[in-house]
Amino acid sequence: MPMPPIRKIAFVVNDPKPGAAALAEDLMAIARAAGVAVIATRVHPVAADFLVGQEACCVIGGDGTLLGIAAQAARAGVPIIGVNRGNLGFLTTFSADNIRESFPSLLAGAFQINHRSLLACSIDGAPVDLALNDVLIKAEVNSRIVGLEVTADGQLVTDYDCDGLIFATPTGSTAYNLSAGGPLVHPSAEVIALTPICPHTLSNRSIIFRAEVKLAVRNLSAGVTLQVTVDGQRDYHVNGNQVVTITHAVERLPLVQRRDHDHFAVVRTKLKWSGGVTERNR
């Protein structure tokens, strides 16, 4: 069943990305020709009220560009169309070629929405941010090993001596979590992945928690200030006995995909996996 047609669309454009500016002009022209109201920004970070009243947001850049608008889009319930002009592009799944061809049909409602889970991060009980990919907790000084206590629903998980901890959504499992040796998680899974970075105990491995868990992190290293980084973009500092809490957010990000979208085809392509259909049929 087609979605309702899009009548108002916002564009977030990362101009320094090769071809992004020209592609944005092409897509905005297509939208205006179809009678769609268009607004655009090339300013990053994007203004806090940019998506108010919009029915969709077209992000042209890389995954980082999309992450910069994701929390606002989730809060506003505005679907994101991600167009890749960066490198890997796990989130920006449309290429420049296929978006030009499919944009008129997308505007007419020929797409599906995949709702992606987010993490809610709080410091001493005060909400500070939403993460589409991950929340990283580490020492403010990069060279410092840090001791971190993790509890789940009030029960001790363990104390970590490590370079930091990554709390990842299924969407973020292909990002820093994967680089740190964490698991790949299907986007539809309702879980939170915890992956320690360079733990001093070799048996410390990733842990998968159910979505309803309440995770709390305390600093065990005297005199060390913690840095909490959300989606690799926004930093918060935690002093003394302040507690960082991570939970599954109420909000979800509506991500626009083609109806024939194949998650594992994207994974195989982006991670350059072998063993596809062609190899099996040889």
- Express each pLDDT in 164-200 by its tens digit: 999 999 999 999 999 999 999 999 999 999 999 999 9
Give the type of residue at 175: A
> Based on the domain organization, do 242 and 272 belong to the same domain?
no
The parent domain of residue 90 ranges over 8-111+258-280
CA distances from 249 to 77, 116, 246, 255 (A): 13, 10, 9, 16
pLDDT band at 282 (very low <50, low <70, confident <90, very high): very low
> Based on the domain organization, do 40 and 138 belong to the same domain?
no
Is residue 243 within 8 Å of 218, Cβ to Cβ? yes
How large is the average pLDDT for residues 97-107? 93
Give the model's pLDDT for residue 97.
86
pLDDT at 280 over 50: no
> Based on the domain organization, do 122 and 241 belong to the same domain?
yes
> Based on the domain organization, do 96 and 41 belong to the same domain?
yes
Domain of residue 231, CATH code: 2.60.200.30
Mean pLDDT of the chain: 92
Looking at 48-95, list the stretches that DSSP marks H as alpha helix, in order from N- to C-terminal side.
Answer: 63-76
> Based on the domain organization, do 70 and 175 belong to the same domain?
no
Is residue 228 within 8 Å of 59, Cβ to Cβ? no
Sequence length of the chain is 282
Task: List, by residue number, the catalytic residues.
Answer: 63
Cα–Cα distance, 32 to 19 (Å, whole number):
20
- Specify burial of residue 273 (Cβ count, 10 A radius: 0-12, 13-18, 19+): exposed
Percentage of the chain with pLDDT > 70? 93
Give a yes or no: residue 1 inside a domain. Answer: no
> Based on the domain organization, do 159 and 53 belong to the same domain?
no
Give a yes or no: residue 213 inside a domain. Answer: yes
Give a yes or no: residue 2 inside a domain. Answer: no
> Based on the domain organization, do 241 and 266 belong to the same domain?
no
pLDDT at 281 over 60: no
> Based on the domain organization, do 105 and 131 belong to the same domain?
no
Domain of residue 36, CATH code: 3.40.50.10330
> Based on the domain organization, do 49 and 32 belong to the same domain?
yes
pLDDT digits (tens, 9 = 90+) for 34-57: 999 999 999 999 999 999 999 999
Is residue 5 within 8 Å of 108, Cβ to Cβ? yes
Looking at the chain, list the stretches that DSSP marks H as alpha helix, in order from N- to C-terminal side.
Answer: 20-33, 63-76, 96-107, 176-179, 263-270, 277-280
> Based on the domain organization, do 67 and 144 belong to the same domain?
no
| Number of domains present in the structure of the chain | 2
Give a yes or no: residue 196 inside a domain. Answer: yes
Tokens coding 114: 């995949």
